[in-house]
Chains A and B, each alone.
Chain A
Amino acid sequence: MEQLLQQFASGLANGAIYACVALALVMIYVSTDHINFAQGEMAMFSTYISWQLMSWGMSFWIAFILTVIISFAMGVLIERLILRPLHNAPVLSIIVVFIGLLAIFNSMAGAFWSYLIKEFPSPFPKADFGIAGVIGPHQLGVVLVTLIVLGLLFAFFRYTPLGLAMRAAAQNPQMARLVGVRVDWMLALGWGLAASVGAVAGIMVAHIVYLEPNMMGGILLYAFASALVGGISNPAGAVAGGFIVGILENMVAYAGNQIEKATGVYIIGNGEKLTVALIIVIFVLTVKPAGLFGRVVVRRV
């Protein structure tokens, strides 16, 4: 029973990470109709930036906040400089550009910081507390930090005029222009926010998966699964999807483990995590493309 709870708790922590990356993906998708294949590598790059800042002597949280700000600027710049000129380009061109960005971020991280695996610190105290044994302090911290970030984002979109303008620009760009919203800038801001949220996810997960240029590959796949489960155009759904997928992932591994214990037959375990995510992605895309909470969008032909 305790093992099950442990798996559940670690599912929550993973889910929080997936939720952040999925939300970043969805934020860009709803406003531009593009799937940012470089989202994971951008987050990885941000994590290296925070590592660099810390190795220059900054404390964890100072580096965290600075990194979030730098990532925001990075996202805005990428949108303005690279994607803006292509906004009428065919889908394939955009996808190619994203893959190009992926390759650049990955190889630049390797070039600047080498491909050697690095340890990444946890900012949370190692103290024992009541529910110790079920959820570790870092896991609990991850869930709390991501919930705070998601809450702040939600409040920003829900209650501030700028957040409202961004939502309007995403929903109907032409109409938004007609009420004076500078839509182009809203898209750039959306990119900035997405990059920031991704950075938070990277910094939080690096202690668990260790820091290396390919650390986000699997997480990005899970984030895709989460975004799809929640409905790719539904931000709240993406967050819910993140937690669902995170818990599901751990439950599947747990079930596989129990089956192996009981019958001696290995079916599925931690080694099949990406395969599980792949199956979720293809299953949702083909069977329930609107996700669990999404609306079906009628396509015009």
Chain B
Amino acid sequence: MAASSKKWVLGAIVFAVLVPLLQPVFPDVVSNYRLFLVSTMIIAAIAVLGLNLLTGFNGQFSLGHGAFYAVGAYTAAILMDKLNVPYWATIPAAAIVCFIVGYLFGLPALKLEGHYLALATFALALAVPQILKYKWLEGLTGGVQGIVLMKPEVPFGLPLSEDQWLYYFCLLVMIVLFWGAANMLNSRSGRAMMAIRDQYLAADTMGIDTALYKTVTFGISAAYTGIAGALSASAIAFVAPDSFGIFLSIKFLIGLVVGGIGSLLGSVLGGIFYVLVDNSAQSLTQFIRNDLGLPFDLSAYTVFGVLLIAIIYLMPMGIAGGLYMAYRKLRGARA
């Protein structure tokens, strides 16, 4: 990482840490609800990063990452609900479980490329809610009803609200995970991962154990998204099968595509973006109905769908890539 961008990242982190402390100063701007919203954006960013590690940096497609998110969420929920495990300890547990599940799914995925891997993962995404409702698991998963949880409590008697604490906790997890991802991508293994994406045959003949790298990447990717799932279980304090359908995976895909395939910063932007659209769709609909007088419900997915197609046409490198290109053009024009 260049020194200048290191400075930027540091600055952003300091800013993110300070923001909740401004609550007494600007109570309306930094409301608890806003902080909670930002927490869900952080969670989304981690989930999108997980998908990006697989698709963006290793070239394997997944339309079913919602499945790993679900595994993470349910692992956390069951541990908290049945074994009284504290919420923070569910994060590594979800990571391990999802790594194993992802690794195992990565084995048959080795045989599949492009469309076929997309097809297999799409099928997985479609089937997830039903798998979660499976009768034998009902004792654990609570079946259709799901599991109701407690929100994380503020530890050590810190003078923070629940939402403030949740925000800090999510932020900490995110920083650790992004730091880990950046280091991994900068290492020998990271270069091998990307070599497999760019030149599969060459990587294979160069002596990179492509099968191992691909399955392990699948595992790591699933672990990242699973951690996001575990965080979301804590944050929302509720899990139920029908929130993990195909449309969850589509949200990750929109985060990936909007932010930029193969971009760490883009994963953050993508996560922020999809939560933002998801949350503003309702007010947009009200605007359309009340102010424009059109009998039309605007769903977030109409926006997502149109954007997915538009970005492929206009900005194939995503927002992060598009901004970077625009920045370079501006710089070039000035120089």
Q: A residues engaging B (CB < 8 A)?
A: 33-35, 37, 82, 85-86, 89, 91-93, 95-97, 99-108, 110-112, 114, 217-218, 220-221, 224-225, 266, 269, 271-275, 277-278, 281-282, 285-286, 289, 301
Contact = CB atoms under 8 A, between A and B. Distances in A.
Contacts of A271: 130, 133-135
Interface in B215-253: 245-247, 250, 253
B126 A274 contact: yes
Contacts of B133: 271
B185 interface: no
B134 A282 contact: no
B87 interface: no
Interface of B: 55, 61, 63, 108, 111-112, 114-116, 118-120, 122-124, 126-127, 130-131, 133-136, 201, 245-247, 250, 253, 257, 261, 296-302, 304-309, 311-313, 316
A99 B313 contact: no
Q: Chain A at the B interface: mostly helix, strand, loop or mixed?
A: helix
B115 A275 contact: no
Contacts of A266: 135-136
**Nearest 9 CB-CB pairings of A with B:** A100-B308, A103-B305, A104-B305, A107-B299, A107-B301, A278-B127, A103-B301, A100-B309, A274-B127
B250 A99 contact: yes
Nearest to A114: B297
Contacts of A105: 305
B130 A95 contact: no
Nearest to B297: A111
A214 to B, nearest CB: 8
Contacts of B297: 110-111, 114
Contact of B61 (A95, A100, A282): A95
Given A111-B296, A111-B297, A285-B108, A272 B302 contact: no
21 contacts: A35-B115, A92-B261, A96-B257, A99-B253, A99-B305, A100-B309, A100-B312, A101-B305, A103-B250, A106-B301, A111-B299, A112-B296, A221-B123, A273-B130, A274-B127, A278-B131, A281-B120, A281-B123, A282-B108, A285-B119, A286-B111
